[in-house]
Structure 1
Amino acid sequence: MSPAISENQRAELHKTIWRIANDLRGSVDGWDFKTYVLGTLFYRFISENLTAYINEQERAAGDADFDYATFSDEMAVYGMQSTVEEKGFYIFPSELFCNVRARAAQDVNLNETLERVFKNIEGSALGTESEDDLKGLFADFDLNSNKLGSTVAQRNAKSVKLLDAVGGHAVRRLCRQHY
């Protein structure tokens, strides 16, 4: 049961999206902008949703301090199949929105990192009932587009701004209310 979004929360979300628009203005047209923002919002939402789900399962099993976001990818492999069966997708801890965002400013290959993450999310559903739902989900999210900048460094700088804006406090509160 998710509570309705208040007018204040909706206004905060609109301000955040407008701030992102101002940061990307001039380099990204309206449709592409929506693709980047909505794709990033969705990536954050499913990352937080999966983290909450796994944390809840582990805490119910007796590990009160469990935090999936700090778990190793090597250990996370063991729960992948059952999680995909239950949730329809999987994201390794190192590929969660919060962890990619934390490393983004120092990641000179951020465009490649995000492309790999998106490909892995879509690929986690291969051969499952949710495969068609995830296939091509991030296909329009082109991190190598000159619309984000003429160099990889410029494109990555825009991507960092996008991740930081979507990771902002107002958006966090809104995202967490819906799962």
Structure 2
Amino acid sequence: MPPTTREAQRAELHKAIWRVANDLRGSVDGWDFKSYVLGMLFYRFISENLTAYLNRQERAAGNEAFDYAKLQDAEAEHGRRETVKEKGLGPDPGSWTR
């Protein structure tokens, strides 16, 4: 029978996440596993940050229905170079602080 309270559901979810993490980790060294997970979290942060940035820009320009996450790959490539320059994610490490 599934848990009924919110706290019980959260506890069950945490247990399931730990089971999956342990299965994925297997015999991998703990540090290697942490590096992988931190890299994935960083990638997610950058992706969500970029999506929010582009959505704000488009909505400020009057395109209220714009949603970067729903674009096809070819559409998402449009303006990529300019966005990389604006956002400061280009090859110049000094520009990463913007």
Shared fold, TM over 0.5: yes
The equivalent of 2:78 in structure 1 is 78
User: Are residues 1:129 and 2:92 paired?
Assistant: yes
The equivalent of 1:49 in structure 2 is 49
Identity level (%): 62
User: Are residues 1:39 and 2:15 paired?
Assistant: no
Partner Cα separation in structure 2 for residue 75 and residue 86 of structure 1: 18
Moved over 4 A (4+): none
Residues 41-77 of structure 1, C-alpha deviations (whole Å, 9 max, x = no match): 1111111010000001001111111110111222223
In the alignment, residue 61 of structure 1 is paired with which amino acid?
A
In the alignment, residue 43 of structure 1 is paired with which amino acid?
Y
Gap runs ≥5 in structure 1? 1-11, 90-124, 134-179
Q: Tell which structure's C-alpha radius of gyration is larger.
A: 2
Residues 133-166 of structure 1, C-alpha deviations (whole Å, 9 max, x = no match): 7xxxxxxxxxxxxxxxxxxxxxxxxxxxxxxxxx
Partner Cα separation in structure 1 for residue 25 and residue 80 of structure 2: 39
- Alpha-carbon distance change, 76 to 25 in structure 1, aligned in 2, over 3 angstroms: closer
Partner Cα separation in structure 1 for residue 63 and residue 71 of structure 2: 13
Q: Which has the larger share of helix?
A: 2
* RMSD (Å), alpha carbons: 2.6
- Alpha-carbon distance change, 25 to 129 in structure 1, aligned in 2, over 3 angstroms: closer
In the alignment, residue 92 of structure 2 is paired with which amino acid?
E
- Alpha-carbon distance change, 25 to 81 in structure 1, aligned in 2, over 3 angstroms: closer
Partner Cα separation in structure 2 for residue 28 and residue 87 of structure 1: 35
In the alignment, residue 130 of structure 1 is paired with which amino acid?
P
Partner Cα separation in structure 2 for residue 36 and residue 22 of structure 1: 13
- Alpha-carbon distance change, 58 to 23 in structure 1, aligned in 2, over 3 angstroms: same
Partner Cα separation in structure 1 for residue 81 and residue 26 of structure 2: 43
Specify which structure has the bigger relative contact order, considering alpha-carbon pairs within 8 angstroms and separated by 6 or more residues: 1
